[in-house]
């Protein structure tokens, strides 16, 4: 039995002029494409609505963190804080996502400088307050944590404004996120006293914050989103790519069907040929075959892969009165701070000029600039992890490098809010009450105890009895039968 395929319709379609071919395709199949985009858009609007509905039932709080004066803890302490934060991650199933609107909640680690006075803050969902406080106290036992009002509410909420202006941007990784930026470990050296061997990169940001004048405010925000371990596969795929290893291809349904036929599948080889025949593969590289840059990349990916990671978004907003506005100082200063973490052979952080930075070029600059200013400002005050550019992935060492409490041996930031020093415990060398020897009568004849003596310069009766009690009391360490 012969099978006949009628291709006359295809031939007529291919014979049409290009513009007729286009409109014919739209008339016959265009509705399907439009329908797919329409359904996708409806689903996204619905998901946005139900998420906002679920989020309205939860409260967020802003915590001010004051660490003690004379902090000597390195960013490793903050790295441990982020490790503890990983406990906030939770899996969300299909029903919870599409019918309840649940999503993974985020945290905002912030630095706010109001006219030079600098405060470290953490914004957290109220149900995770204990988690945040435990993470801080476990590393800084003498820190002070207090709930405060939102500092972003004291400036105009819409722009343009007659008195204030705003500048802002988000920062992004210039290379794929699998490659790390420079971490705080690379700011350590072996020269000089031990307290100065760590050159804290936070010094540049604290100096910039301290230079703000009356009417200026600088806000730094790092949105942190707990996540699972799916990202590990992407890191492994990047390593295989450098080494020239090809990923294993899963067998398709066709191949699985042929294997199920067993010997009967041999009859098909005469038609299809040897389907198992594969092109000759090049031999994968070993570490000995790599050049220094490739070795450096693999080591960097492995180093980042070895620690917990979070999705994160970095956002900066500068608000100031127009008469004291100094965009050049703040923009150049904050970009310079972020460039400290540039590892040019691996990864670095750069401002997102195209989408979020309050800068426009070419046509209709003024109206587009106003839109950008309001977008970046609203994204900041909402602590949104969805607005702006997509979050990158950073491990806990990278997060602690970017946001940590300054080490006072290296950072002279007098206007950073700090907790008062703790009350010191009594020295262990002080004698205990049981070790004291009862004073003699001659001791009471001089000094402040003279009022306890009678007319004959003898201790009064009640004082003499107490002295006898002290002298007659046996030592507490005597053994008892």
> What confidence tens digit (pLDDT) does each residue in 370-408 have?
999 999 999 999 999 989 999 999 999 999 999 999 887
Distances (CA, A) of 18 to 1, 23, 335: 38, 9, 50
Residue 131: inside a domain: yes
Q: How far apart are CA 252 and CA 256, in angstroms?
A: 6
Best CA proximity match to 379, nearest among 174, 219, 261? 219
Distances (CA, A) of 278 to 273, 281, 310: 12, 8, 40
Could you tell me which residues come within 8 angstroms of residue 478 by beta carbon, excluding any fewer than 6 positions away?
none
pLDDT over threshold 80, residue 94: yes
Residue 212: inside a domain: yes
Residue 177: inside a domain: yes
Per the model's pLDDT, the better-predicted residue between 383 and 31 turns out to be 383
Do 155 and 172 fall into the same domain?
A: yes
Q: 124 has which bridge partners? A: 61
Do 40 and 68 fall into the same domain?
A: no
What percentage of the chain reaches a pLDDT higher than 90? 47
Q: How far apart are CA 162 and CA 156, in angstroms?
A: 10
pLDDT over threshold 90, residue 317: yes
Strands 107-114 and 349-351: unpaired
How many structural domains are present in the chain? 3
Q: Count, in order, helices (H) and strands (E) of the chain.
A: 16, 10
Do 107 and 189 fall into the same domain?
A: yes
Widest Cα–Cα separation across the chain: 142
pLDDT over threshold 60, residue 345: yes
Do 68 and 37 fall into the same domain?
A: no
Please give the pLDDT value at position 168: 95
Residue 308: inside a domain: yes
Do 53 and 81 fall into the same domain?
A: no
> What confidence tens digit (pLDDT) does each residue in 203-235 have?
999 999 999 999 999 999 999 999 988 888 988
Do 207 and 130 fall into the same domain?
A: yes
Q: How far apart are CA 113 and CA 287, in angstroms?
A: 48
Best CA proximity match to 237, nearest among 312, 309, 305? 305
Domain of residue 197: give its range: 60-233+292-419
Residue 445: count of CB within 10 angstroms of its CB: 14
Element (H, E) at 204: helix 202-210
Least confident window among 145-149, 152-156, 284-288, 325-329 = 284-288
> Which CB contacts under 8 angstroms, 24+ apart, belong to 152-160?
152/219, 152/380, 152/381, 153/381, 155/217, 155/319, 157/377, 157/381, 158/374, 159/370, 159/373, 159/374, 159/377, 160/370, 160/373
Do 183 and 91 fall into the same domain?
A: yes
Residue 351: inside a domain: yes
Do 333 and 410 fall into the same domain?
A: yes
Out of 419, 441, 461, a domain closes at 419
Residue 229: inside a domain: yes
Do 131 and 16 fall into the same domain?
A: no
Please give the pLDDT value at position 481: 38
Distances (CA, A) of 174 to 334, 336, 367, 380, 443: 17, 15, 29, 22, 79
Burial class, 366, CB count within 10 angstroms (exposed 0-12 / middle 13-18 / buried 19+): exposed
Do 383 and 332 fall into the same domain?
A: yes
Do 226 and 317 fall into the same domain?
A: yes
pLDDT over threshold 70, residue 443: no
Q: How far apart are CA 437 and CA 458, in angstroms?
A: 19
Distances (CA, A) of 275 to 20, 254, 255, 269, 426: 41, 10, 9, 7, 83
Residue 245: inside a domain: no
Looking from the CA of 225 toward its CB, the CA atoms found within 13 Å total 19
Per the model's pLDDT, the better-predicted residue between 468 and 301 turns out to be 301
Out of 36, 57, 78, a domain closes at 57
pLDDT over threshold 60, residue 63: yes
Residue 132: count of CB within 10 angstroms of its CB: 23
Do 27 and 166 fall into the same domain?
A: no
User: In which band, very low, low, confident or very high, does the pLDDT at 432 lie, cut at 50, 70 and 90?
Assistant: low
Residue 144: inside a domain: yes
Encoded tokens for 287: 């570490």
Please give the pLDDT value at position 309: 93
Residue entry with tokens 């945040």: 132
Please give the pLDDT value at position 478: 45
Element (H, E) at 148: strand 144-148
Best CA proximity match to 374, nearest among 186, 161, 232, 86? 161
> What confidence tens digit (pLDDT) does each residue in 297-316 have?
999 999 999 999 999 999 99
């Amino acid at each position: 039995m012969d099978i006949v395929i009628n291709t006359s319709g295809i031939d007529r379609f291919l014979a049409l002029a290009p513009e007729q071919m286009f409109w014919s395709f739209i008339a016959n199949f265009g509705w399907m494409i439009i329908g797919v985009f329409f359904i996708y858009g409806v689903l996204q609007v619905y998901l946005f609505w139900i998420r906002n509905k679920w989020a309205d039932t939860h409260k967020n709080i802003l915590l001010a963190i004051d660490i003690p004066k004379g902090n000597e803890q390195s960013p490793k302490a903050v790295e441990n804080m982020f490790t503890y934060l990983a406990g906030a991650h939770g899996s969300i199933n299909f029903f919870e996502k599409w019918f309840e609107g649940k999503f993974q909640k985020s945290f905002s680690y912030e630095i706010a400088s109001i006219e030079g006075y600098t405060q470290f803050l953490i914004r957290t969902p109220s149900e995770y307050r204990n988690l945040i406080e435990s993470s801080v106290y476990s590393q800084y036992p003498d820190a002070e944590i207090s709930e405060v009002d939102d500092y972003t509410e004291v400036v105009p909420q819409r722009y343009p404004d007659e008195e204030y202006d705003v500048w802002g941007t988000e920062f992004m990784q210039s290379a794929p996120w699998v490659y790390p930026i420079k971490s705080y470990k690379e700011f350590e050296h072996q020269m000089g006293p031990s307290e100065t061997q760590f050159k804290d990169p936070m010094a540049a940001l604290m100096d910039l914050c301290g230079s703000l004048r009356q009417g200026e405010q600088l806000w730094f925000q790092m949105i942190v989103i707990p996540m699972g371990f799916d990202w590990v596969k992407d890191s492994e795929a990047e390593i295989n790519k450098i080494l020239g290893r090809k990923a294993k291809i899963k067998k398709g349904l066709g191949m699985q069907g042929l294997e199920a036929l067993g010997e009967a599948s041999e009859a098909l080889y005469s038609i299809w040929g040897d389907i198992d025949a594969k092109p000759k593969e090049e031999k994968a590289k070993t570490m000995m075959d790599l050049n220094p840059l490739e070795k450096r990349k693999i080591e960097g990916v492995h180093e980042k892969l070895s620690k917990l990671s979070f999705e994160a978004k970095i956002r900066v907003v500068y608000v100031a009165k127009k008469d004291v506005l100094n965009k050049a100082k703040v923009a150049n200063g904050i970009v310079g701070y972020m460039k400290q973490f540039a590892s040019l052979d691996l990864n670095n952080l750069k401002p997102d000029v195209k989408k979020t930075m309050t800068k426009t070029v070419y046509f209709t600059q003024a109206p587009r600039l106003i839109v950008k200013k309001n977008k970046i400002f609203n994204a900041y005050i909402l602590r949104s992890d969805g607005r702006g550019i997509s979050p990158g992935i950073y491990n806990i060492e990278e997060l602690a490098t970017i946001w940590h409490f300054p080490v006072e041996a290296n950072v002279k930031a007098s206007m950073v809010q700090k907790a008062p020093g703790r009350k010191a415990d009594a020295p262990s060398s002080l004698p205990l009450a049981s070790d004291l020897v009862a004073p003699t009568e001659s001791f009471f004849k001089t000094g402040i105890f003279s009022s306890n003596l009678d007319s004959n310069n003898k201790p009064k009766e009640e004082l003499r009895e107490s002295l006898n009690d002290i002298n007659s009391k046996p030592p507490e360490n005597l053994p008892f039968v």
